Amino acid sequence: MEMETELVLSSSLNYMLPRKRAVGGEAVVVEVDEDNCKAGSLKKPRISTATTGPAKATGNVNTNSSIGDNNSNHSRGDAKPPIMALGEGNPPDIDEDLHSRQLAVYGRETMRRLFASNVLISGMQGLGAEIAKNLILAGVKSVTLHDEGSVELWDLSSNFIFTEDDVGKNRALASVQKLQELNNSVVISTSATELTKEQLSDFQAVVFTNISLEKAIEFDDYCHNHQPPISFIKSEVRGLFGSVFCDFGPEFTVFDVDGEDPHTGIIASISNDNPALVACVDDERLEFQDGDLVVFSEVQGMTKLNDGKPRKVKNARPYSFSLHEDTTNFGAYEKGGIVTQVKKPKVLKFKPLKEALKDPGDFLLSDFSKFDRSPLLHLAFQALDKFIMELERFPVAGSEEDARKLISFAWNINDSLTVGKLEEIDQKLLHHFAFGAKAVLNPMAAMFGGVVGQEVVKACSGKFHPLFQFFYFDSVESLPTEPLDPSDLKPINSRYDAQISVFGAKLQKKLEDAKVFIVGSGALGCEFLKNVALMGVSCGNQGKLTITDDDVIEKSNLSRQFLFRDWNIGQAKSLVAASAAASINPHLHIEALQNRASPETENVFDDTFWENLSVVINALDNVNARLYIDQRCLYFQKPLLESGTLGAKCNTQMVIPHLTENYGASRDPPEKQAPMCTVHSFPHNIDHCLTWARSEFEGLLEKTPAEVNAYLVNPSEYTSAMKNAGDAQARDNLERVIECLDKERCETFQDCVTWARLKFEDYFANRVKQLTFTFPEDAATSNGAPFWSAPKRFPRPLQFSIDDPSHLHYVMAASILRAETFGIPIPDWVKSPMKLADAVSKVKVPDFLPMKDAKIVTDEKATSLSTASVDDAAVINELITKLEKCQKKLPPGFRMNPIQFEKDDDTNYHMDVISSLANMRARNYSIPEVDKLKAKFIAGRIIPAIATSTAMATGLVCLELYKVLHGGHKVEDYKNTFANLALPLFSMAEPVPPKVIKHQDMSWTVWDRWILGDNPTLRELLQWLRDKGLNAYSISYGSCLLYNSMFPRHKERMDRKLVDLAKEIGKAELPPYRRHFDVVVACEDDEDNDIDIPQISIYFR
């Protein structure tokens, strides 16, 4: 059975791998790493191309004439499949600085496949432009833009590339220059003439966004039967309705269905049984599911399980599972072992469009409240195609006659069906469909641009599960709640005419006059700015858009944050993004600020600013900032549109005053942190090693040099602060400063090499020797169990060798950074392995003797490493005396240069040191090592990110923005979304309403804030509450108590103004722009039950 699977995999390989198709005379080669090729199996291939012609072109090349030049190679019925050549591939280099966030999602193999892929996008209205943007940012090899039509003013509602000056130009030609700016390494070419099916053989994937069904069936048939098949995608956006169809050929292999790392578990026991029961340590829950295949390694005793053979899981539980295996006659389990999930390739058999139209199979659902919607839309899109074919135009917005005609086409198609015939057709829905059919709306284009862009990546790489095969979506809830007057839908010769044809001119005016605050100008922020500019938000005389971000542009931003160019690196994000957005729509009224929205900037974002806003859109990358904005929106009762992405996943949350709960009402559980003793002494995975390595890096190269400078800048102040503290932390600080300025002080580069070599000995030999001396391999715990039982791994010391390149690389990187901290020039010879080896050989390494009374923390609950309890104060005085002697030996004005960790500069040696430290430690504990890139993801805490999920999230949010700015929608009209483009999965649901608190005939929620004006006294506030049946027993401002009924002296404050009490007792600083302050009041009802009341705002001006 295994053999058959492998043969399917290898034989299907040439059906899905990218091929270079070029102008005549070039051999098409799929290269496979020889080392990975075993009898009967084939691992992931390396993709490259072999050319017999000149070196391949780079930069902006218009290859219009080359489309179809090599048709003779592919269109004949006897065409041969591409040559399979085994050998060492030469894949293009990946710019890791640029693509680091994308690499964290896709990995190198997928990126290399993308770099070898040629894609056609036909139809350059809003949807085509969005797909092209996402693929060019991802870095495919080439994109060919095809469109026979000319730019119309109508297109400016959805296409961020065109300006009014482009009206009348060919759409494809008008798109090239701006799209090329996104990524100069992608070859962008155009075609403005009619496509023939033979021309499609130039591509691995073809996308059509504006094509008749008749032509689509012809093209798809050609692609499906081509050798190897060409992936065909058809997608349309028609008003608030959209569709996608995918056909990746008769057999398409998905190498990685979900993009998740294989799940693992640390084994605690395995029974000799049939079936065998495998128990794992309760360190982390197992993520295995019944039917998963797993392999075992490092099992002691029952060693037969280490044979690498995949075994099937059944009865999967949180910390155990059974094996489809009889282990009765295996050796008895002793200890150790890791169990790892095996990810299986999956072969999908796609139907061609002609068949799939009649028998579509299961539709991909996005909203279970619309489970019957997809079959109707399947019919609607076919009816629209028939309408356009017969009348040679789209239905007119507001035309009842056209809507009736489209509905009659739908009935006729339905009546002709033998499978899946509908009993009823929702005519109201088809009215909306007909009215908006000509319009391409920007939010819909953004959303579908993300979905389709991701499908192209899947087609070119085999990474993630393709959409199989139809997906329909609508957002009719975005329409105004009142019926639209057909006259309100008529074009007014403006750039918003397409949007007006769907929503009407009245809502367009509301959009234009909106006052919007976008918080953040990164990947989400850039997409939002583009979307709102095209929608006309804040583009009217009354409108204003404020965007703020305190960050500057870095190279790694350019793979997603598409408003930035390489010449903007180092500039303020918000300023550059605002300028780019204004060039998309010159009418946009935008102010760009560089302030972080936080309690410290409430003088900038003051009460007046918040009170004037229509809506707030978050484009943030951290939870704390989101919670702060959430509290502000709650306080000022402003709608907040929230979204976030993580790799191929995205989510959106609508926070609407009085209708929904706020963002902070529900939170994800905090990430589980490894106990300190695990990180310091008992690591069992590479994350622990990298956490330790980053901590050591920061301690040695940033914190200690900064501590040295803190002392040298003002010795007397520093030493008196240490004396006053008098604790273990102060003692530790002093010891580190003395060590740095005395025993470990470096004056020459050779000193830095010595320091690095001795650190190696300390970290990877001596500490391990001490640990295994204190806890030998046969050590037992106090209750007699083996000390070194799972998840603990018994370590072995490393022996330094100048013949080990990884040892020398560590010494080179560590000595360079050490020299930087001391301001010592770095000699060229450090990069010569021979000369560096000579320098290392000069270092005298003292012998190590383990201590008998060493303190090693084993308590998992310990949060800091405690120092031996001696009289800290006496030791601190001694250390200060020693430190003063060290200072006298230093040259005048001596300062150190602390090094702040920067993950995104591959030339600075920071990641070299961290990955070396982590991998040496991993070697101590027999933990698999990682390369520098993977180390960067973990130690640099890089959030995986791709353009497609960002685009999709912002499109979904902007569909909600129509509802918010219209202002009349109910909670059930709003949608929160979770999506995972890798699976693909779309899950939409209405938001959760806020919790309601009731008292007598009153009720309130978290959204309510009670306001008391006219500068009241304490007595007036208490009486005001009493009138509501509430007895206040405590009033506080911040952390200060203004009143408590238990304190008799507080009765003296009754007739004082609350503002005076806040200033005098609460030390309130109330600047001129503040007209109020807030108090928290604790109340009881007449039965002495505590009542949770809203915050109270006291207006004193």
Question: What DSSP line would sit under 869-934, residue for residue?
Answer: -S-HHHHHHHHHHHHHHHHHTSPTT---------TT-TTSSHHHHHHHHHHHHHHHTTPPP--HHH
The answer to whether 663 touches 639, Cβ cutoff 8 Å, is no
629 φ/ψ angles, rounded to the nearest 5 degrees: -65, -40
Q: Return phi, psi of residue 666, to 5°.
A: -135, 135
Q: Round to whole Å and give the CA distance between 284 and 156.
A: 52
The candidate with the shortest Cα–Cα distance to 224, out of 237, 206, 208, 238, is 206
Tell me the residue type at 909. Answer: Y
pLDDT at 283: 79
User: Residue 925: which of 341, 262, 298, 342 has the closest Cα?
Assistant: 298
The per-residue pLDDT for range 640-654, each reduced to its tens digit, is 999 999 999 999 999
Q: What is the pLDDT of residues 13-44, one digit of tens each?
A: 332 333 323 333 333 333 333 333 333 333 33
Active-site choice (677, 740, 746, 886) = 677
Q: Which residues contact 924 (CB under 8 A, 6 or more apart)?
A: 764, 768, 795, 796, 797, 798
State how far the Cα of 149 lies from the Cα of 128, in Å rounded to an integer: 13
The pLDDT score that the predictor gives to residue 294 is 97
pLDDT of residue 700: 96
The stretch 233-240 carries a mean pLDDT of 98
- Say what the pLDDT of residue 939 is: 94
What is the rounded CA–CA span in Å between residue 229 and residue 621? Answer: 40
Share the mean pLDDT of the chain: 89
pLDDT tops 90 at residue 676: no
- Nearest alpha carbon to residue 581 among 553, 552, 546, 608: 546
- Are 978 and 1064 in contact by the 8 Å Cβ rule? The answer is no
Question: Is-catalytic flag, 677?
Answer: yes
Averaged over 584-595, what is the pLDDT? 98
172, pLDDT greater than 90: yes
866-881 residue pLDDT tens: 444 456 778 888 999 9
Interatomic CA distance for residues 365 and 369, integer angstroms: 10
Judged against a pLDDT cut of 50, whether residue 91 lies above it is answered with no
pLDDT of 190 strictly over 80 = yes
State both tokens at 800. Answer: 């330094």
pLDDT in tens, 106-158: 999 999 999 999 999 999 999 999 999 999 999 999 999 999 999 999 999 99
pTM metric for this prediction: 0.87
| Maximum Cα–Cα distance across the chain | 102
pLDDT at 905: 87
Q: What pLDDT, in 10s, does the model give residues 465-485?
A: 999 999 999 999 999 999 999
Cβ distance 1096 to 1025 under 8 Å? no
Tell me what pLDDT residue 227 has. Answer: 96
Task: Indicate if the pLDDT at residue 936 is higher than 70.
Answer: yes
What is the pLDDT confidence band of residue 1024, given thresholds at 50, 70 and 90?
Answer: very high
Task: Give residue 864's pLDDT.
Answer: 55
pLDDT tens digits along 294-332: 999 999 999 999 999 999 999 999 999 999 999 999 999
Percent of the chain with pLDDT over 70: 90
Q: How far does Cα 886 stand from its chain's mean position?
A: 49
pLDDT of res. 11: 30
The pLDDT tens digits for 1041-1076 are 999 999 999 999 999 999 999 999 999 888 887 888
Give the Cβ contact number of residue 185 at 10 Å: 14
pLDDT per position as a tens digit, 412-463: 999 999 888 999 999 999 999 999 999 999 999 999 999 999 999 999 999 9
Higher-pLDDT residue of 282 and 562 is 562
Place of tokens 């007739």: 1055
Position 66 confidence tier, pLDDT thresholds 50, 70, 90: very low
Which pLDDT band, with edges at 50, 70 and 90, does 58 fall under?
Answer: very low
Tell me the three state secondary structure of residue 38: strand
Question: Binning pLDDT at 50, 70 and 90, where does residue 862 land?
Answer: low
Pick the more confident residue, 670 or 624.
624
Token pair of 335, please?
A: 């200890």
Mapped onto helix, strand or coil, the DSSP state of residue 75 is coil
Question: Bigger pLDDT: 3 or 1022?
Answer: 1022
- Apex 591 CA angle, 587 and 597, nearest 5: 145
Residue for token pair 């040695």 = 700
Instruction: Identify the CA nearest to 269 among candidates 253, 280, 284.
Output: 280
| DSSP one-letter string for 194-215 | ---GGGGGG-SEEEESS--HHH
Mean pLDDT within 63-88: 33
Give, for 415, the enclosing helix (H) or strand (E). helix 400-415
Q: Does 53 have pLDDT greater than 60?
A: no
Provide the β-strand partners of residue 142: 118, 187
pLDDT classification of 212: cutoffs 50, 70, 90: very high
Question: Which range is least confidently modeled, 402-411, 574-583, 719-728?
Answer: 719-728
Q: Take residue 132 and report the two structure tokens written for it.
A: 């092209």
Any idea what the Cα angle at residue 440 is, between residues 438 and 445, rounded to 5°?
Answer: 155
Task: In whole angstroms, give the CA distance from residue 1010 to residue 1018.
Answer: 15
- Return the pLDDT at 802: 95
* Torsion 799-805-809-815 (CA) sign: positive
Q: How many CB atoms lie within 10 A of CB 160?
A: 27
Q: Each residue of 773-822: pLDDT tens digit?
A: 999 999 999 888 899 998 999 999 999 999 999 999 999 999 999 999 99
Beta-carbon contacts of 902 under 8 Å, excluding residues fewer than 6 positions away, are 908, 910
